């Protein structure tokens, strides 16, 4: 059986005069996690002004994977950009939103992590906290970004509670697991058509699924950093790839 092709949108790196032209990039761990699960990863260029080419790429995909990255531009959910919002990538936003909407219409399998859960929510009509710490004073710390002084990317920062009988509970093998956490934005208003199936102890949404049976799973943590040692995290990737076959 042919291995399914999974599309992964890239992210923009601006030109550095005299050193680097404009580039599109993507972290290797995402690609390796998909490859380990049996997929053929396909990195997608950011061509928001060429929908014909983007549609041709999409038509060759068996599934869509949304990764972590820079902040989602608040303009996409009708808000002004606050001073605590980070760097954005409008071209990436536009391409991913289009891919998500096409996948939703076609019921094509979709899996998303970290920024991915946020852009899925925005693409389907929801909104975000531009900064959890600033806007939710009672929230736990969620921004365990690696630095020389902070934990590694696989540090299990907090637990999540998972809805019993949800797809996430089935894949992760229970209703309580510990996860890593590298984000400062999060879902505020949940989009129609999505069901929140995992939350942090402070109520922040950590996982969503589609309400219509489509294979659409999105999580706020980074399972690609854990799949080599945790069977449940690995199943998030293998079940997605199996759904795309």
pLDDT in tens, 41-61: 999 999 999 999 999 999 999
Nearest to 115 by CA among 25, 177, 63, 184: 184
Which are the contacts of 200, defined by CB distance < 8 A and separation ≥ 6?
139, 140, 142, 158, 159, 160, 161, 206
Say if domain 5-244 classifies as CATH 2.40.110.10.
no
Sign of CA dihedral 75, 77, 81, 83: negative
pLDDT of residue 149: 78
Whole-angstrom Cα distance, residue 183 to residue 32?
22
Question: Of these residues, 206, 209, 222, 227, which one is catalytic?
Answer: 222
Find the mean pLDDT for residues 163-181: 97
pLDDT of residue 147: 85
211-244 CB burial, b ≥16 within 10 A, e <16: eeebbbbbbbbbbbbbbeebebbbbbbbbbbebb
* 212 has a pLDDT exceeding 90: yes
Question: Of these residues, 114, 142, 158, 209, which one is catalytic?
Answer: 114
* 138 has a pLDDT exceeding 90: yes
114 among known catalytic residues: yes
pLDDT of residue 188: 98
User: Do 31 and 8 meet the contact criterion of CB atoms below 8 Å apart?
Assistant: yes
Nearest to 54 by CA among 21, 4, 101, 123: 101
Percent of the chain with pLDDT over 70: 99
78: region left, alpha or beta (phi > 0 left; psi from -120 to 50 alpha): left
Q: Which of 54-58, 87-91, 151-155, 233-237 has the lowest mean pLDDT?
A: 151-155
Question: Of these residues, 96, 206, 209, 224, which one is catalytic?
Answer: 224
Supply the DSSP symbol for 7: E
CA distances from 77 to 16, 183, 188 (A): 31, 18, 11
> Using 50, 70 and 90 to split pLDDT, how confident is the model at 136?
very high
* 1 has a pLDDT exceeding 80: no
Strand 205-210 and strand 194-199: the pairing is antiparallel
């Amino acid at each position: 059986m042919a291995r399914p092709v999974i599309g992964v949108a890239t992210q923009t790196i601006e030109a550095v005069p005299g050193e680097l032209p404009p580039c599109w990039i993507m972290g290797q761990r995402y690609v390796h996690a998909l490859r380990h699960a049996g997929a053929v990863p396909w990195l997608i260029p950011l061509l928001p002004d060429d929908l014909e080419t983007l549609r041709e790429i999409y038509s060759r995909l068996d599934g869509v994977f949304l990764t972590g990255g820079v902040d989602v531009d608040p303009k996409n959910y009708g808000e002004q950009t606050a001073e605590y919002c980070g760097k954005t990538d409008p071209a990436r936003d536009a391409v991913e939103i289009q891919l998500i909407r096409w996948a939703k219409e076609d019921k094509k399998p979709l899996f998303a992590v970290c920024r991915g859960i946020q852009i899925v929510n925005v693409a389907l009509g929801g909104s975000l906290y531009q900064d959890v710490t600033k806007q939710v004073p009672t929230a736990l710390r969620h921004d365990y970004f690696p630095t020389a002084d902070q934990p590694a990317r696989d540090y299990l920062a907090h637990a999540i509670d998972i809805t019993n009988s949800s797809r996430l509970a089935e894949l992760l093998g229970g209703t309580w697991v510990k996860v890593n956490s590298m984000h400062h934005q999060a879902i505020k208003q949940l989009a129609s058509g999505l069901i929140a199936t995992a939350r942090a102890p402070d109520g922040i949404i950590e996982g969503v699924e589609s309400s219509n049976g489509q294979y659409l799973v999105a999580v706020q943590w980074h399972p690609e950093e854990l799949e080599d040692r945790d069977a449940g995290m690995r199943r998030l990737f293998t079940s997605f790839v199996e759904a795309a076959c």
